[in-house]
Amino acid sequence: MAIQATALSYTCSACGWKKTVSPTSDALLFGEFYHCCPTCENPNLQTQKQDALSSLVYELRRKIYNK
């Protein structure tokens, strides 16, 4: 049975790029995991787990705005 992972926020300290992703299952798909910044290719991304409320707000915004 698939278990939905918590939302993660990625931040690049070099260029300021930010992205929050909420995987749809325990299997990560393309665009749900970053090992380097897609803008400047900095390999040192800061990763932060989102709490349950932030994850819920992110999911609601994604469903409302289809992002």
Count of CA atoms in the C-beta half-sphere (13 A) of 41: 0
For the residues 33-54, what does the mean pLDDT come to? 86
Rounded to two decimals, the pTM is: 0.65
Residue 16's pLDDT is 93
- Helix H or strand E segment including 18: strand 18-21
User: 6 is written with which tokens?
Assistant: 């918590």
Q: Which has the higher per-residue pLDDT, 59 or 28? A: 59
Cα Rg, the chain, nearest whole Å: 12
| Percentage, residues of the chain above pLDDT 90 | 27
| Residue 53: per-residue pLDDT | 73
Q: Which one has a higher pLDDT value, 36 or 33?
A: 36
Which tokens is 37 given? 């910044």
